[in-house]
Structure 1
Amino acid sequence: MKSDHSTGGRPNMRGHVPSDPSGFTQTQSPHENTTSSGSEQLSIPNPVRQQLHSQPFGMTSGSEDEDLLNAIKSHKAAMKRRFDGVNEGHVEAKEKVLFNKIYTELYITEGQSEDVNREHEVQQLAKSHQRQSHDTPISVNDIFKSSDGQRRHIKTVMTKGIAGIGKTVSVQKFILDWADGKANQDIDFIFVLPFRELNLVQHTKYSFHMVLEAFYPELEDPHMYENCTVLFILDGLDESRLEVDFSSDDEEPFDVSTKAPVGKLIENLIWGKLLPSALVWITSRPAVAGQIPAKYINQMTEIRGFNDEQKEEYFKKKIPDPDQARSIITHIRTSKSLFIMCHIPLFCWITATVLQDLLLRGVEEIPKTMTEMFSHFLLILTNFQRQKYPPESQGTQWDPQDIIVKLAKLAFTQLMKGNILFYEKDLEECGIKVREASVYSGICTDIFKEELVINQKKIYCFVHLSIQEFLAAYFVFHSFVNQEEFESEDEESSHDEENSEEEETQEDEDSEDEEDSDDIDTHWAFFFGFMFEDDSSDEGSENEDMSGVEDKASEDKASEDEEPPEDEDTSEDEATSEDEYEDTSEDEDVSEDEDEVVGNLDQPFKAGKLNHLLKRAVKESMLCKNGKLDLFLRFLLGISLESNQKLLEGLLGQTVCSSESIEKTIQYIKKTLSKQHRSTKRCLNLLLCLLELKDSSLQKDMEQYMRSGQKLSPEQCSTLAYILLASEDIQDEFDLNKYNTTLEGNNRLVTAVRGCRKAKLSGCLLSSDGFESVTFALQSKNSYLRELDLSYINLKYFDFCNLFRALYHRDCKVETLRLVSSCFTADSCVPLAVYKPSCVRDLDLSCNDLDSGMKTLSKWLTHINCKLEILRLASCSLTSRSYKTIKSTLQSENSILKELDLSFNDLLDSGVMMLSDGLDHPNCKLKTLRLVSCNITGESCGRFASVLQSRHSQLRVLDLSNNDLKDFGVKLLSVALGHCKLETLRLSGCCISDEGCEALASALTSPSCTLKELDLSYNHSGDKSMDLLKKYKLKRLSFAYNGPDMLKTGPQKYARELTLDPNTAHVGLSLSEGNRKVTAARKKMPYPEHPERFQHVPQVLCTDGLCGRCYWEVNWSDCNTIEDVRGAIGVAYKCLQRKGISTSTMLGLNDMSWSLCIGYIGDDGDGDGDGGMDGFNIFGSKVVSPKSIRSKRLGVYLDWPAGTLSFFSIFPDKRTHLHTIYATFTDPVYPGFMFLMPDFSLTLTKKEA
């Protein structure tokens, strides 16, 4: 809430100040309360007490010491009277609410946010809301204290925050706690100097003491505060029009008696030349905070508004009825967009006001968009004022609608100029007389304020920028519907049908009557003060009636650089960091003079169609550099909805049928979004507009726009995250890989995970802050997240600690967690075992080295609170000790595991024996077991058969693919099929011939056989055995890819002969031996230019794209050992970029390719050649130390349908698994190779006979 006035009552400058119109006369503000409560107990700070004994102030008598003590007491009492109240809603000034009764702690953080100065404030709201997830809050009373553990002196503090976020209230809280003796008792005096009041004396020279005395007339002796600890609060830098220059090298002495312009005084106060020991606290909106150089700011803080808990606390304090407060909190939580917007304290107040009224009237459907909420608020206001100030009691000329329209006109006119403060001249221009202004501010206290400041000067403002923007939009729509009659939508439809063919070919406008187009241009030209070229300009037609407006716009453009009059507020845009807007569209030839309103706004508008009006608004918003029309556009579109028109019918006077125009506008917005070379920031606001228009296809349209490939800046990612969170449609999946942005952009986008059911973050770069945002989302009451994929992210131990702590939180609902190749180690098992998250049902820890951690992991798996049902441990380097632990886990009465995946581990036959003991136990509840590529032989099948026939076995799915079971093992297994509950058996790639198939067919003849699915693909079965198996009506039977090669052991059965594609080879790579060998040369090869050639990265791809199962081997040569190799081996889509040196072109460092990177350029001092990157994951690819490979011969196995890419070290007697990448392949992949150093070669080995 804003306090009832900026800093309390203001006395005027005293007798020695000039009495001319720009000076001051001595009177007292009518707001000043001169009485003091006799019960007030004011605390005197210890430093002053000590100083009274030592007399450091140069005083010579005890009476003078007593004078100082009394002055401090008097000053504290006066400050308490000024700041102890808050005007909320309809209460009169004398009825103001006690501050501490309504005050709710705000979320304030130390530090500043990157790029925050260049965003619209509602977009900053989205960013500040998400950043709360990982920022450490500080108390407002501690802003002059160092939080870094160092006892550094903090002289100047800057506090930033968007409009209505609570900057002035924070100042108020600081002062009251100081005056009550609760905090900061080392400060003797606090003086508040609002910039909006300092503006009024900027052109006359005064001494600092004269200025200070004008605000605080009790300070008659300048020496009283010179030697005390004093804090000056400069409130509202964004409202300043003072001239300051921090680049000056002026070394002249400066004290409180030196006369200078007020801007110079403030400059020297901040600089430290004036009162160098004084503390200074500056508050500002982010847009202009950069006006003061960072070197003069010792501590930067930012007010983020309310976090989720503080929102609820506010409503409980604001609404005295606990049941009603709880009901309102529940209502707000049902709308994601409103709950986010309640981050702003002022919006909380509006929301509470509206919902209290709706609940009182029994209205069940609550507002869900900003336009709906503000519309209800405006209606409540006007209804209240009609009841309190009946028109008959105010005279025949008083009309609530007339007041709103005039205020709306003021709002629009000043919004176009960029002003948030208005003076009498501004009001008169909009038909508001000075006497009326006081009446308006009394009647419309909820939206419009009049303040009496220095020299009894009156200034006016809306209580919040968003209210000004809403009223501006209301004014435009009101003006539109209350002019001459418009064509009906039916007439418009029939007219459109005649021009349907033209409509499909025209880019920017529907094919409609040319005269109407010109008329709507006229309409908008008066609004925005510049001439647009009409839609038929390519046909040679021009709007001649607007020449006068063009001339006027040119005159205004020429006068832009003139000094603004004293009473006019400068444009906020002048203080705002400008964003570059790159307008490359050929159909928008618009004057860039945005800051002056031209023409007579009262001139009658010609008839025009609503969709023209809305399209023009979209265009002008797109052209606006700093986004000042963004929220205005959203409100205008929202008001045009028929439901909102009906809501505001009493204030609009007339309404129009808009459904067809709205649909056309939605399509126009989507068309605009689909065009290239649009400002991404402006396009993001168009997505917010679709949200306001309740477009159900918002999520789809947003994803389509994101696929355009434009790189998003961090601040744009903040807005996008807000859109995702505010959308009432819950996303099924949020895939961070879809967005082209930076690390910081990822950190901001990732906050949107709590607005979706599944979050896919695999392979994405996240900092600790970004990861903390994820853990924050897990603990949110409002989170819809059920599935989280953090695979291929290089997490650290403390990341896992935070993750499992969050999963343990009572509000966490995540059931599926994927941590494939995430650097999860034995140490990481400790926090998992400690926190024992009970919400997780499905956990994937594949491709992590877990052998030494299985015992710790088992402590969680066997705990009574563990609800895990699915555990994936594929490619985890497990050994016999792990299988013993797994056996014990399966035998535990607390274990409820139903699915276990141990694929790509060397289980061997010995491991099968241990595992079988667990499977055969009465407590084992396992139903699915996957043991793909576990080096199991037929010898183990006898034990499996025994387990399957056990009365305790609950196995329904068994996958033994890619193990050399052969016919012998299949015969042993077949014995059990007629005596078990198995429903799915996968034996793909198990070296099975007709003999094994016949054994399976025989087993299927048993009436007790429950088998429904049998996979015999990649084996060698003849037609006879296939026909035999087809007799049995299995739901699924697969014989795909049969042939004699499938009887080879190991992955050799899938071997492919490959050749290198010379058209892709980088000029630094030499091909030989029939394009089967590539050498990293030191000279350029004379290759012809080719579009497929890698231009900058020494890489080459093979000629054939691969699908299915494929295996190939390579041999590194021309190097002494594998430890000398620096390169990568992998696969890529054909569309992998060929030009540039970046991750988008390098094999395995993007989402178009996957690789095993052998070694890394750089030296971390341990001599292993990995550059300190061993185990590092990038998009699923992995960096490994050359020492860990140990062989110059490598094998690569691709299982395209299963989405796995495995790498092996090849030795004469064995094959050692190195790493498996899990992915979803959508196109054929091409084997490829990258060289990071010259002078070594790679050869594709020939397929064995």
Structure 2
Amino acid sequence: MEELHQKVITDADAQQFQQQLAQYDDHQLHTFYDYFHEDLIYIMKSLDPLSIQKLLSFQNIVPVEQYLSIKKQCGTCRFAEKLFEDIRGAGKDTMLGFWKSLFVLQNDHPHPNLVGMLNELTNTGDILEQQTNLDKNGYNLPQDLTACQIQLRKNLLEKTENLEEHRAPGLTTEHESFHITERYLDVIVVSGQHFRTHSRHELIATGGIHEHYLQRVQSNLERISPNRLFRWCHRKRCVPQTVLVSGVPGVGKTTLMQKFVYDWANGKLYQRFAFVFFFKFRDLNNKDELSLAQMIIDEYPYLHNQLDKIFQEPKKLLFILDGLDESKNQMDFKSSQSYTNPHSIETLNVVVSSLVRQSVLPGCSVLITSRPTRLAMIETSGFQRLSEIMGFFPKERETYFLHFFRDYTMAEKAFRYVRENGMLYTFCYIPSFCWIICTVLSMCFRAQEAKSTWTPKTVTQLFVSFVSNILANHCQEWSVDKELLISIGKMAEHGVNNHILSFTKDDLETFSVDTFPHVTTSFLMESGQPPHVSYSFLHLTIQEFMAALVHYLDYSPVRLQKALEEAKSYKDGRGEIFLQFISGLSDSSTRSLLKPYVGDLSSSASKHVIRFLQLSMNQDIALQIPDIDIREVLNVFACLAESRNKALVSSSIGSTRQLNFSEFHLSPLDCTVLAFILQSCKETELLDLTKSYIHSEGLERVASVLHTVTNLSLTENNLRDEDMPCISSILTHPQCRIQRLSLRCNGLTEESCATLSMAVKENKTLRDLDLSRNKLSGKDFNKLLKVISDPACSIKHLGLQEIKLTPEYAKSLLSLTNNTNLTHLNISSNFFGDTGYPHIQKLILEHRSLKEIKVKMNDFSEETEKNLQQLQTHRPDVAIKF
């Protein structure tokens, strides 16, 4: 994400800001307050407890303890709503004090939404009330234009008021339709382009970033609601006229645009635009040359007579163009080609790029959506706001499951199953993937009622189940047209290799894909009107699955080897999921679901893929080699996880006892994959996860197998107290092998000590524990110290460097003399000082098994340090290190 340059807020700045707001009357302040209400709620959710306390305490705007009690009892949302409601009704002085406290809060919590909100208020306050009223009420138009606008609204309402949802194969051949207000769920839209330069598959890259945001970095995530897309952009310091929304396939770009247009047509959103023109790039593919006027008239013919009059005030116009990635035209938004007359005939590229560059209808607004991969190939600097759809967060995912199943118990069962399966859950941020999962699980649950217990464990198994259900409902006498599936698969593979999502009738004819059979329409969607019809797979992952499946339906050693090598060679990650699918299909039990419909899938293809994986592992897996590409290693691991071939993993990397992922960002999905590898190897000597950015989600996914590791480093992962129960479960596992554990440099406090102490007491294998550079001082630290001081404790090396220990703890450390196994102790960088020296001295003299103690940087005077050095003569067997 693009970083904001944080300015230090001074008292003078805060005073000036308050004086600026004081010029507004009560009504205007209430208008601002209501306008920013959604932002305020979101900001409050991102605040840590200390920041909330500082905010409320500033200038004594509210009784702090009362509201902190509400937060504790009712949660952040209710607390925020109550707080804002009370401040709004408390008078001008309280409201001004609250705004000032928010302004000062930027120093400690420069959340992008907070910075942007205050920036907008500062720069647009004088016109904000006018703009708010305009967005609410719109313009007073002449009678003839009002009639056109009414007709346009009616037309757009008819086009956008219903959402069509595919139904599970076999339930019905028709799509089910719902009113958009009944089924629409908010998706997360954020600012910036996070992964345009990433070399991973776009679905996996976004999934990793998405899960990263679910952790503790939400303070850096600027959320943009649909009604804020054309609001003040503090990064560009302007109200944007050109906005770009990117998102991976199926994440909800088109649905978001549909809801956007519906809300405008319904009078609820952006009434500053008198006319909104909504186009889909795939419907424009048949128009090689056209004028902007003709482009509008073709879609909205009833505007023909008034179009010139509509063009006279471009600032009242919004053009929405959905699906740039589906356009066959390569857009050049930096083109210098002049196009100023909306009635002139030009190529679609020139017409659209001229709208963006404002050379035609200057002052109009433009909103374009696209896949990220397409954006990586074009210049986007002409857009004043770049944003991404991140899809569903957990609450929306759970709501989607409830909408799909319409039965709370069934929805909860399905969501819990997916939540516990890291591979499936990662992709649940994508609405269309949620549909696929729900479709398959609904069938599995029905099958379970019929005494079948099979449910998918991998993404490959999910899609095998999905396809087998399609075939089950469209085949005759347990057979299906295998040649048709081969044709569909070859076309799918051609699309994957060439970034093609939308296919023409010519493409279908080239690959001999017949659109008449129902089985074809179960894979492909048709859009547009004859003769300009296009086809696309229900989702990119279905296209990728069919591209992999074709090699098992029609095995050719040469073609398969070429496909594997090409997929691995792509630097943009387009072959990543294809390789995982083709690896997943190497598992005979996974393939067996398709046998009743297509017969045996090629076992020769399976052996070919396994040989390829073995070779890949030999080439990529030696983690001890300097400069090894960790991402390549993890890609191979992901393929192995899909294959479920534990024997292959064990035989190939069983001798590789050391896995080093230090300073490499492991997403929760990577952790799921790593868990499979560790489970397959069973015994690993070293797993180094130092600075791997593993947070709660990732740790939870890999925790079930970490007990098999002998030497485990979780150093510098920003782990928190809430992660300690997970760590405790690892240490208390009956088969725990961990001898060395580093929790160095995390965010643990004394609250972790009680849980950790119980785990250490139960554990029988731990010999080396490093807790350095955490904030462990507090009464519960003594509980942990008591366990480590027990004669039965096996810990030999103990790291307590820089854990905020003060002089009174020096006496407590004397209890360590009871642990006769302890040989190495690091208590450097604490605050013992000369007051604590007598106890440190006694510890050194009386601990008979101690071989080394580190005591540097403890606020000792020169004289005390000399005394410590002289102790060496009394205990020559102990290395006293400064």
Same fold (TM over 0.5): yes
Instruction: Name the amino acid aligned to 1:475.
Output: V
Are the aligned partners of 1:336 and 1:727 in contact in 2 as well (CA < 8 Å)? no
Instruction: Note closer, same or farther for the CA distance 1:151–1:730 as it changes in structure 2 (3 Å cut).
Output: farther
Alignment of 1:801-840 (within 5 A): none
Is 1:426–2:512 an aligned residue pair? no
Is 1:212–2:296 an aligned residue pair? yes
Instruction: Note closer, same or farther for the CA distance 1:419–1:908 as it changes in structure 2 (3 Å cut).
Output: closer
Residue 318 of structure 1 deviates from its aligned partner by: 0.7
Which of 213, 216, 233 aligns to 2:320? It is: 233
Residue 351 of structure 1 deviates from its aligned partner by: 1.1
Residue 67 of structure 1 deviates from its aligned partner by: 2.7
Which of 597, 600, 615 aligns to 1:668? It is: 615
Aligned to 1:315: 401
Alignment of 1:271-286 (within 5 A): 271-286=357-372
Is 1:81–2:28 an aligned residue pair? no
Aligned to 2:841: 935
Is 1:723–2:810 an aligned residue pair? no
User: Which whole-Å deviations, capped at 9, do the CAs of 1:456-502 have from their partners, x for residues lacking one?
Assistant: 4111111212111211222221112xxxxxxxxxxxxxxxxxxxxxx
Residue 868 of structure 1 deviates from its aligned partner by: 11
Is 1:338–2:424 an aligned residue pair? yes
User: Which whole-Å deviations, capped at 9, do the CAs of 1:396-440 have from their partners, x for residues lacking one?
Assistant: xx95555434322332344344422211221112223xxx42x24
Instruction: Name the amino acid aligned to 2:433.
Output: F
Are the aligned partners of 2:190 and 2:390 in contact in 1 as well (CA < 8 Å)? yes
Are the aligned partners of 1:80 and 1:179 in contact in 2 as well (CA < 8 Å)? yes
Residue 862 of structure 1 deviates from its aligned partner by: 11
Task: Quote the Cα distance in structure 2 between the aligned partners of 1:48 and 1:247.
Answer: 31
Are the aligned partners of 1:907 and 1:935 in contact in 2 as well (CA < 8 Å)? no
Residue 717 of structure 1 deviates from its aligned partner by: 7.0
Is 1:477–2:552 an aligned residue pair? yes
Residue 376 of structure 1 deviates from its aligned partner by: 0.9
SS at match of 1:356: helix
User: Which whole-Å deviations, capped at 9, do the CAs of 1:209-244 have from their partners, x for residues lacking one?
Assistant: 111211222222222254252222221122223244
Residue 316 of structure 1 deviates from its aligned partner by: 0.6
TM-score, normalising length from structure 1? Answer: 0.48
User: Which whole-Å deviations, capped at 9, do the CAs of 1:499-556 have from their partners, x for residues lacking one?
Assistant: xxxxxxxxxxxxxxxxxxxxxxxx344x3xxxxxxxxxxxxxxxxxxxxxxxxxxxxx
Aligned to 1:1121: none
Residue 132 of structure 1 deviates from its aligned partner by: 2.4
Is 1:179–2:265 an aligned residue pair? yes
Which of 188, 191, 201 aligns to 1:107? It is: 188
User: Which whole-Å deviations, capped at 9, do the CAs of 1:888-920 have from their partners, x for residues lacking one?
Assistant: xxxxxxxxxxxxx9967898999899xxxxxxx
Report the structure, 1 or 2, having the larger helix content.
Answer: 2
Task: Quote the Cα distance in structure 2 between the aligned partners of 1:100 and 1:841.
Answer: 52
Is 1:384–2:473 an aligned residue pair? yes
Are the aligned partners of 1:315 and 1:352 in contact in 2 as well (CA < 8 Å)? yes
Task: Quote the Cα distance in structure 2 between the aligned partners of 1:880 and 1:775.
Answer: 26
SS at match of 2:342: coil
Instruction: Note closer, same or farther for the CA distance 1:47–1:375 as it changes in structure 2 (3 Å cut).
Output: same
Task: Quote the Cα distance in structure 2 between the aligned partners of 1:689 and 1:139.
Answer: 37
Instruction: Name the amino acid aligned to 1:755.
Output: R
The structure having more radius of gyration, on CA atoms, is 1
Instruction: Note closer, same or farther for the CA distance 1:237–1:849 as it changes in structure 2 (3 Å cut).
Output: closer
Task: Quote the Cα distance in structure 1 between the aligned partners of 2:657 and 2:379.
Answer: 37
Aligned to 2:539: 464
Alignment of 1:1145-1156 (within 5 A): none
Is 1:650–2:734 an aligned residue pair? no
- Structure 1: unaligned runs, 5 residues or longer: 1-44, 56-64, 393-397, 481-522, 528-612, 790-815, 888-900, 914-930, 937-959, 966-985, 990-1107, 1112-1154, 1157-1183, 1192-1207, 1218-1228, 1233-1249
Which of 579, 598, 619 aligns to 1:633? It is: 579
User: Which whole-Å deviations, capped at 9, do the CAs of 1:258-307 have from their partners, x for residues lacking one?
Assistant: 33222111111111222222222221111121344343122222122222
Are the aligned partners of 1:337 and 1:725 in contact in 2 as well (CA < 8 Å)? no
Are the aligned partners of 1:157 and 1:299 in contact in 2 as well (CA < 8 Å)? yes
Aligned to 2:528: 452
Residue 366 of structure 1 deviates from its aligned partner by: 0.8
Alignment of 1:769-918 (within 5 A): 771=718, 774=719, 778=723, 784-786=726-728, 841=757, 857-858=778-779
Task: Quote the Cα distance in structure 2 between the aligned partners of 1:711 and 1:908.
Answer: 35
Is 1:354–2:440 an aligned residue pair? yes
Is 1:619–2:565 an aligned residue pair? yes
Aligned to 1:324: 410
Task: Quote the Cα distance in structure 2 between the aligned partners of 1:323 and 1:649.
Answer: 33
Task: Quote the Cα distance in structure 2 between the aligned partners of 1:425 and 1:138.
Answer: 40
User: Which whole-Å deviations, capped at 9, do the CAs of 1:812-867 have from their partners, x for residues lacking one?
Assistant: xxxx9987677x9xxx98xx78xx998665799976798xx96xx34x7899xx99
Are the aligned partners of 1:256 and 1:275 in contact in 2 as well (CA < 8 Å)? yes
Aligned to 1:201: 287
Task: Quote the Cα distance in structure 2 between the aligned partners of 1:777 and 1:736.
Answer: 25
Alignment of 1:490-505 (within 5 A): none
Instruction: Name the amino acid aligned to 2:614.
Output: Q
Are the aligned partners of 1:127 and 1:722 in contact in 2 as well (CA < 8 Å)? no
Instruction: Name the amino acid aligned to 2:532.
Output: K
Task: Quote the Cα distance in structure 1 between the aligned partners of 2:669 and 2:682.
Answer: 20
Instruction: Name the amino acid aligned to 1:633.
Output: L
Aligned to 2:646: 696
Instruction: Name the amino acid aligned to 1:672.
Output: Q
Residue 175 of structure 1 deviates from its aligned partner by: 1.9
Task: Quote the Cα distance in structure 1 between the aligned partners of 2:654 and 2:339.
Answer: 61
Residue 374 of structure 1 deviates from its aligned partner by: 0.8
Are the aligned partners of 2:662 and 2:688 in contact in 1 as well (CA < 8 Å)? no
Which of 345, 365, 387 aligns to 1:259? It is: 345
Which of 458, 463, 467 aligns to 1:369? It is: 458
SS at match of 2:277: strand
SS at match of 1:688: helix
Are the aligned partners of 1:462 and 1:468 in contact in 2 as well (CA < 8 Å)? yes
Residue 689 of structure 1 deviates from its aligned partner by: 1.1
- Structure 2: unaligned runs, 5 residues or longer: 1-131, 732-739, 761-768, 790-798, 815-824, 872-878
TM-score, normalising length from structure 2? Answer: 0.65
Aligned to 1:1135: none
Are the aligned partners of 1:733 and 1:760 in contact in 2 as well (CA < 8 Å)? no
User: Which whole-Å deviations, capped at 9, do the CAs of 1:339-382 have from their partners, x for residues lacking one?
Assistant: 22323222211111111111112132311112211111112112
Residue 877 of structure 1 deviates from its aligned partner by: 7.8
Residue 192 of structure 1 deviates from its aligned partner by: 2.0
Percent identity of paired positions between Structure 1 and Structure 2: 22
Are the aligned partners of 1:731 and 1:756 in contact in 2 as well (CA < 8 Å)? no
Task: Quote the Cα distance in structure 1 between the aligned partners of 2:684 and 2:156.
Answer: 51
Instruction: Note closer, same or farther for the CA distance 1:668–1:209 as it changes in structure 2 (3 Å cut).
Output: same
Are the aligned partners of 1:340 and 1:726 in contact in 2 as well (CA < 8 Å)? no
Aligned to 2:201: 120
SS at match of 1:192: strand
SS at match of 1:118: coil
SS at match of 2:376: helix
Alignment of 1:912-991 (within 5 A): 934-936=840-842, 960=843, 962-963=844-845, 965=846, 987-988=848-849
SS at match of 2:362: coil
Residue 153 of structure 1 deviates from its aligned partner by: 0.6
User: Which whole-Å deviations, capped at 9, do the CAs of 1:170-209 have from their partners, x for residues lacking one?
Assistant: 112222233333333333322222222222212x2x3211
Is 1:685–2:762 an aligned residue pair? no
